[in-house]
Amino acid sequence: MKRSSSWDRTGRNDDYIRIGPGETVTLLDECGAGCITRIYLALAAPELTDHRDGILRCFWDGEESPSVEVPMGDFFGVTHGRIREYASFFTAVNPGMGASPGLNAYFPMPYATRALIQIENRAETFLGGMLGMVWYHIEHEVFDEPPPPEVLRFHAQYRQERPTVPAMDPCNEQLHDGSNLDGADNYLALDARGKGQMIGLVLEIDNIAGGWYGEGDDMVFIDGDAWPPRIHGTGHEEVFGSGACNWHEYANPYSGFPLVERADFGGLVGMYRWYVADPIRFDESIRWTIEHGHANNFENDYTSVAYWYQNEPHVPFDRLPPAAAMRPPLPEGFEEVRLAVLAAMAKLGGSVENFSRIATFAEPFYRGELDLAMQRISELGACLPRSTIG
């Protein structure tokens, strides 16, 4: 076992790296055969947009096209840039001083000759907010011989459709009589060619239309399935293991809704599903799709990360949209709250004694609960600058 990490090469305790605007930093470049077993990242007091502006890429065995190309927050299940602490079979978001959660992923990632892992910063500032600090660990096993040819390579891809295009009227309301008998207008989360198996999905919806959005069925087309596909579901909540019309946040080993912004189903929703006991295997191709509303009559923002293993070479991914087009939605008044939070953090400083105070307003801020964050800042009173507390 080996580890590549951000430890301070001078022997001091500045155990972080800095990733400047427009910069791509290599976290691991390991020659030989092996298998990555864990990736860990943490940012100190980041911008909410950092989770989309930092792009994680993984290349196996000297390939030119990455097998992993995902915003770093979404890769770990941080949906819409909002922090939710949770634990699952493959990923976990663990607490840390209110403003610096630990992001963990445990996907096995084998390679035969080389593993290259990088992060690109597409923000206008350093990743990691006002401090600009990124910590990382990458654990990996080292093999004497390459894995057998039948061992598949790990892949993960980000996609988005913002917004989805309604396929019929009436749109943005419950529809039971509409007919979808080809899946052509479904949201597409994965379109891969080769032999392999899908092992997971993170799905994120900004329910702009409001109301219950989840009547859309998943439809998975394997090896060129004609209609109907061999895997056909009954709605969003069933895909992710909840009961009808879920409005609670929860996280379990294989499925969860870690983000549910509002009990009336509107706003931001994030969900994951790990196909561990029931991997979706394919010999030639896979298309994982889901309706956006029954018969695709809802106009909402959909984003996703699909995770799978396959033989190489894979079909090169489409170019990511521009950074601005990928950033998570931010509510009205966000900038005012953001500046208040930064001012409060600066006033309290970095002493361990003040971490509990920082957590009182940082945790709701990074969850997207802005009113609560401002309330907590006001409650701190004399600890903070007058301009911050109004």
Residue 314 pLDDT level (bands cut at 50, 70, 90)? very high
Query: Which pLDDT does position 110 carry in this prediction?
Result: 98
Domain covering 2-151 in this structure, CATH number: 2.60.120.1390
Specify which residues 69 forms β-bridges with.
57, 157
Q: Which CATH architecture has domain 159-307?
A: Sandwich (2.60)
Residue 390's pLDDT is 40
Short-list 73, 227, 60, 206, CA closest to 147:
60
User: Taking 80 as the threshold, does the pLDDT of residue 53 lie above it?
Assistant: yes
- What residue has token string 């992923």? 105
Contacts of 116 (CB under 8 A, 6+ apart): 26, 28, 29, 30, 58, 59, 60
* pLDDT (tens digit per residue) in 200-230: 999 999 999 999 999 999 999 999 999 999 9
Instruction: Give the whole-angstrom CA distance, residue 6 versus residue 15.
Output: 5
Q: Which two three-digit tokens encode residue 226?
A: 């004609």
Sorted by where each begins, the domain ranges of the chain are: 2-151, 159-307, 334-389
Q: From the CB of residue 198, how many other CB atoms can be counted at a distance below 10 Å?
A: 24
Give dist(CA 275, CA 218) in Å, integer: 14
- 341-367: pLDDT as tens digits: 999 998 887 778 888 999 999 999 999
Tell me the angle at which helices 334-348 and 355-367 cross, rounded to the nearest 10 degrees.
160
